[in-house]
Each structure stands twice: as C-alpha cells, then as structure tokens.
Amino acid sequence: MEKPVQISVIIITFNEEKNIGRCIDSVQTFADEVIVVDSYSTDNTKQICLAKKVQFVEHPFEGHIQQKNFALSLATFDHVFAIDADEYLSVQLANSIAKAKKHWVGHAYKMNRLSSYGGRWIKHGNWYPDQKIRLWDKRFGSWGGENPHDKVILAKNSKVTHLLGDLMHTSYQNGQETLAKIQQYSSIFARENVGKRSTSIPKIVGHTFFSFCKSYFIKVGFLDGFEGLVVAAAEANHVFYKYSKLYEANKRAAIGKRIIISRTDNLGDVILTLPLAGHLKKTIPDSEIYFIGKKYTEPVIRQSTYIDHFLDREEILANPSLLASIKADTILFVYPDQALAALAKSFKIFNRVATAHRLFNWFYCNRLVDFSRLRSELHESQLNFKLLRPFRLKTNPDFSQLMSNYGLQAISKDFGHLLDPTKFNLIIHPKSKGNGREWGLDHYSALIKQLPKERFRFFLTGLKEEELSIQRDLPELLTAEGVHNLMGKFSLEEMSAFINKADGLVASGTGVLHLAAALGTFCVGLFPPIRPIHPGRWGPIGTHASFLVVDKNCSDCRKSSNCECIRMITVSQVASRLLLASKRKGSISENDPLPALLS
C-alpha cells in the first residue's frame, strides 16, 4: 500500500487576528505541522496561534517573497502547502488535498482561488478562477515572481495537477479598503521594478483600458452586479497606479547617482543654489554631487555638507578631461553656459538639463525645461528646482525647505579679539561690488550715528578696492566712532567664519547677505522694488533673515545705478529692526524700553 506523504503548512502573518484562527482550522484535516512566520504583530495574532498549538516564529519582514521562502526553509517535510492568513479552504478543497496526500502524483498541485468583495463571492471577471500553485514538493520549487505578487516557481518540466474545490480568499470589504491596498501594492510594484521595466503614457492608458474591458466585458464580470463593476474598476485602477508609479520612479531614477550642478556666476547666486544640492543629496543619499563654479566661490561651496566635489570652470575649459573623468549621469545648468554645455554634449553626459530659453541649449542640451526667470513670481532659489522637472522630483519647495538644505558649516575661528560678548556685534557691508543697487554710504554713516555705541559694536567689511572707493567718497565712515574697519582683511573663508560668530549683518542684495542668511545669522537686506531685482526674487532666505523695501511700483531707476527707491528706506527703519534684534540677543533687558532713536 502507498505510504501517504507528510505535509507542512506554512503561513505568513502580520496583525491577522481576524483571520488566522479560521485559516489554521481549515488545514487541520491534513496538516502534519503548521508553521506561522509573523512580522512582529501588535494585535492578538501570536496568542491565537499559540492557542492553536502551531509552530510560531517571529521574523523581520523583508518582502513577500523573502518571507515566504524563509517560512519554506522551516518546513520539516518535503511536501508543503502554503496559504495566506486571509484565506481558508472549502470543504471540497480540503478533501482534495487529503486525497492527494494519500496518492501523491507529480510535483505540484494547483487550485482555483475564489475571492470576495463586500461579502459577495466574485465568480467572474479577472478574480476567478485565479489559479494558484500552493501544494508542491519543495525539492522542485520555491517562491519567486515579483513583490507583492509572489508565485511558486517550479523546475522545468514539473508536472502540475489541478485539485477540485476553492481556496476561499476574503479580500476586501469596501472601496476604502480596496483603494488602500491598491496604493500599497502599486507602490511595491514600482519599487521592485524601477530600472528593470519600462513604461510610457500610451502603455499606461492601454493597459488600464484593456484591464477594465477584460474583467468586466470579456470575462463577464458584469454578471456579479455592482460588485463586479467595482472589481473591474479596481483592477484597472491597480494597473493604472502601478504603471504610473513605475513611470515616475523610472523618471526619478534617470537622474542617476553622479550629478553635476553648474552655477558659474556670482557668490549670492551660488549660495541660493545650495538648497538644490541639499535636496538632491537627501532624496538620493548615495548620490555624488559635483559643483562647477568660479574659483573664488570655492571656499563657500566646500563648506556645504551636501557638495562632494568642487570644480573650477576655468580649469575645466583648460583641461576638459576633468569633466570627462567624472562620468556624470546628469549635469544641471542652473546658469546657462554655452562652453560647458558643448563639452557636456561632446562627452555624452546622458542628461544635460537647461532652460529652453537659451538658443544654444537647443544644440547642446537634451532635457530642456520651459520656464522664465525674468517673468516668474518665484524666488531665485525656488526657480533652480525647475530643472528637476524631467525627473519628477520636487520643483516647488517652500522657504522652510530651502532653509534646511544649505548645509553650510563655517570653519571654526576665534574672533575674541574683535567681538564683544556684551554688545550686539553688527557687520555693515556697504558696497556690492557693482552687482546691485546700494543704499548709500551716507545712510550707513547715519545708521552708525543713530545706534547707541554702548549697545553696538560695528564692523565694516568688503573688498580692498571697495575700501579705496569709500576713502575717496566718504572717508569719515572708515574712522567713525565704534567702527572697526575690516575691509580687505578677510578671505572668503574667514569672512564666512566671522559672519557665523557675529550677531548681525546689514547689506544690500549681495553675496555676503545671502551667506549670512544661509549660516543662520541675523541679517537685514536692503532692496529696491524694481523687478527683477526686488526681494521677491532675490531676498535672503534664512531662519533669521529679513529685508526692507519701499512699497512702490518703480521703474524710474532701472537704467541708473543711483537708485532713489532703495534710498527711500529710512535710517530709522533699519535702526528699529536692529534694535529689536539686539533686544532678542539680551544686550538690552527684556524689561527695558528700547533706546530712543536719534533724529
């Protein structure tokens, strides 16, 4: 007489207290052992299983396929039956398995799975017969497929026999539960298949449409009434989301891991580009971020924890192999640069991203983004993110997100011989290297006179050539009471360290203003209302940054460096803001009134 085989039943669970008892009971007629592998449930799943006297093992969940193969490895016997916790056996199927146990044939057995929606068993459409291999000889197969839609993969030429009866699957009770599962499974599908499978908009539309038609019309899902319609729609919904999410995931992955940001203009522009690097580094933690800039901006760029490498534009043009050696996946031309764009194309950098509003970019770049900086209402730093549009990455950060993505860490340097801990140490940066509208030396001189010397210590900063300009136009500013002239004394690296230790800074829209904002130092920017150099476009972004601008529509000063609009900001307005800041520092008692402003 043929000896019956012994069968190990394997089940994986997580918070299945509503289903696991019925599931275990349905296999007891043929199971020689029942193994439950649980992903650390927080409900009563464990207690129910232990009460049923099954083997209960806790194991971290790494994926449906991985978890089920782990359970398979625990099976004592070669012949295995796998069942999900939300499934149970019809009496007919249980009897069929008991017969197969006595007279085993071939290598595996398949069976129909009958699923329910809203309490109704769905006997048409894509949900039935939904045949599954669940009983097999583990020496000839294991779990495979793709998460979350795992399946048993058998050795070639394995014999599979069909069993009578249904595997009962209590799937979804309502639309809300169905949609939640669709989102969960479609996300898993996209994560598992990113970079492995391709899709497109026509494919998404075609697959979605065909899925509904197949389930509802071809496989007569309409015979299941309203529930049949919901199931067909859910199937189409799942297809739509899994391929849409894969489409987005593939777009995001296309940016690659070696990313170059090219911003080859001035310091302020560079600082406002750092949040873009920070966002990329946080979004793609294993990426390598390169920054191409002017040589003089290198010290600040290297202070950002989100930049891995700095490259000098002029060195690249002199030695183009420097660019080729990076083997970059993507280069983002934040500032249009025809010479670098031509090199990027010649070295076949896969993604060359730039604005579509430069004619030469149409010849050298292959990812053109249609946006205008000149007419935009967005801030300069926000506009930089538009270049991420081809990769379905964030393109509309708010200011709080920008502030957290500078990553600047100034060098540690002792300025104890300059800074007075009992006073508000204020940096005044009166010039702009000719790159912006200036408030005027006479205004800064009046500001110094108006602020109380017992509360403030002043430091004039700027370039040596700017000091010479002040010596010519208003020399008394350099020697005013309480003023320490540091113009031309600091390197950019030292200037960054000094700003980091000072209490505040006031300047027009210069790179030093943006540096202070990025470092988290209190600063006040002075701006004209003229577009596109107004603060809405170029204002400082930082946790303690602010600006002053007159509320006026103005274009009179557009062609003149002598801007009356910015000069309309009063000395008293600036002084009031600085006095409030000094009070917050504690240099003025919280209970004391603010000193009166001198007229």
The CATH T-level fold of domain 424-585 is Rossmann fold (3.40.50)
CATH number of this structure's domain 258-403 = 3.40.50.2000
Answer yes or no: same fold for 7-172 and 424-585. Answer: no
Amino acid 441: pLDDT: 95
CB atoms within 10 A of CB 164: 12
For residue 1, give every residue at least 6 positions away whose Cβ sits within 8 Å of its Cβ, in sequence order, or none. none
User: Would you tell me the crossing angle of helices 201-213 and 225-253 to the nearest 10 degrees?
Assistant: 160
Q: What's the rounded Cα separation, in Å, for the pair 512 and 14?
A: 55
Secondary structure class of 267 (helix, strand, coil): helix
Amino acid 590: pLDDT: 40
Amino acid 395: pLDDT: 87
Amino acid 373: pLDDT: 85
The CATH T-level fold of domain 7-172 is Spore Coat Polysaccharide Biosynthesis Protein SpsA; Chain A (3.90.550)
Amino acid 556: pLDDT: 65
Give the 3-state DSSP-derived string for 364-383, with helices as H, strands as E and coil as C: HCCEEECCCCCCCCCCHHHH
The residues spanned by each domain of the chain are: 7-172, 176-253, 258-403, 424-585
Q: What's the rounded Cα separation, in Å, for the pair 467 and 40?
A: 69
Residue 426 to residues 406, 548, 574, 578, Cα–Cα distance (Å): 23, 17, 12, 9
pLDDT digits (tens, 9 = 90+) for 275-326: 999 999 999 999 999 999 999 999 999 999 999 999 999 999 999 999 999 9
Amino acid 374: pLDDT: 81
pLDDT digits (tens, 9 = 90+) for 152-189: 999 999 999 999 999 999 988 888 999 999 999 999 99
Amino acid 559: pLDDT: 64
The tally of CA atoms less than 13 A away on the side-chain side of residue 397 is 28
Residues (pLDDT < 50) of the chain are 587-599
